[in-house]
Amino acid sequence: DAKTTQPPSMDCAEGRAANLPCNHSTISGNEYVYWYRQIHSQGPQYIIHGLKNNETNEMASLIITEDRKSSTLILPHATLRDTAVYYCISKSFSGNTPLVFGKGTRLSVIA
Amino acid sequence: DGGITQSPKYLFRKEGQNVTLSCEQNLNHDAMYWYRQDPGQGLRLIYYSQIVNDFQKGDIAEGYSVSREKKESFPLTVTSAQKNPTAFYLCASRQGAFGNQPQHFGDGTRLSIL
């Protein structure tokens, strides 16, 4: 599974879009990109995942570049409750090994 | 409601004591996982199980043991051999052992040493 790189921290004004980048330059063709977030003292919450097409659900949008070497998670209207650590993970769908969590990006939404 | 239930939420262990953390899921998921999280760190895999009566060691299995006698249950025992057990323990499950379905997590158990 490819290694991912994320900035350690980001700030975002409340009500604005939060754009969280992730680099996965060594990703292979059968690896999905998964996003989770963890609010303090809670278990990680699944947000979204995708292979190569952009994905959207009720929580967020996932934009994957055409070469698949990077992606961006977009929270369209950030609220204070979106303050959390966000994890980007690359994982092969043909493998049976579990997800590997790095240190993620700490997003602070500011009023 | 469907989900993953971890209990207790807080647990205290005395020196030399074994303690067991419970994880139950009613999602009919095949695979289950145990992670450990230390302050300011990412998650590290302790054990995982893809099917009943089978499990594999993760990256930090020493001092821990698990069982998978039922599909919905995957308890973790922290033994006295684990010298630094203070951490946040997370259980997760997934629909299939293979494929692209995401893992879903419980709310964790925080273990401390008395």
Query: What are the CA-CA distances from residue B81 to residues A22, A51, B62 (Å)?
Result: 38, 42, 8
Residue B43 has pLDDT above 90, yes or no: no
CB contact under 8 A, A41 and B99: no
Residue A19 sits at φ, ψ, to 5 deg, of -115, 110
Q: What is the spatial distance between Cα A39 and Cα A52, in angstroms, rounded to a whole number?
A: 27
User: Is residue B39 very low, low, confident or very high in pLDDT (cuts 50, 70, 90)?
Assistant: confident
Average pLDDT rounded to a whole number, residues A88-108: 82
Whether A88 and A73 have beta carbons less than 8 Å apart is answered as yes
Q: What is the spatial distance between Cα B92 and Cα B100, in angstroms, rounded to a whole number?
A: 15
Task: Please choose, from the candidates A111, A108, A91, the residue with its C-alpha nearest in 3D space to the C-alpha of residue A34.
Answer: A91
Burial class (CB in 10 A: 0-12, 13-18, 19+), A13: exposed
Residues in A touching B102 (Cβ below 8 Å): 34, 36, 46, 49
Whether B76 and B57 have beta carbons less than 8 Å apart is answered as no
Average pLDDT rounded to a whole number, residues B31-58: 92
Residue B1 has pLDDT above 60, yes or no: no
- For strand B76-78 and strand B19-25, is the pairing parallel, antiparallel, or unpaired? antiparallel
User: Could you tell me if residue B40 is left (phi over 0), alpha (psi between -120 and 50 degrees) or otherwise beta?
Assistant: left
Interacting residues of A58 by C-beta distance below 8 A, sequence separation 6+? none
CB of A17 within 8 Å of a chain B CB? The answer is no
pLDDT at B41: 80
pLDDT at A36: 97
Residues in A touching B103 (Cβ below 8 Å): 46, 98-99
CB contact under 8 A, B103 and A46: yes
- DSSP codes joined into one string, B8-73: -SEEEE-TT--EEEEEEE-S--SEEEEEEE-TT--EEEEEEEEETTEEEE-TT-TTEEE--SBTTB
Average pLDDT rounded to a whole number, residues A52-56: 93
Residue A95 has pLDDT above 70, yes or no: no
pLDDT at A66: 94
> Best mutation site among B37, B95, B100 for testing chain A: the one with the most A CBs within 10 Å?
B100
Q: Considering only CB atoms, which residues of chain B are within 8 Å of chain A? A: 4, 6, 33, 35, 41-43, 45, 48, 50, 58, 88, 90, 92, 97-100, 102-108, 110
pLDDT in tens, B83-109: 899 999 999 999 876 778 889 999 999
CB contact under 8 A, A101 and B97: no
User: Is residue B13 very low, low, confident or very high in pLDDT (cuts 50, 70, 90)?
Assistant: confident
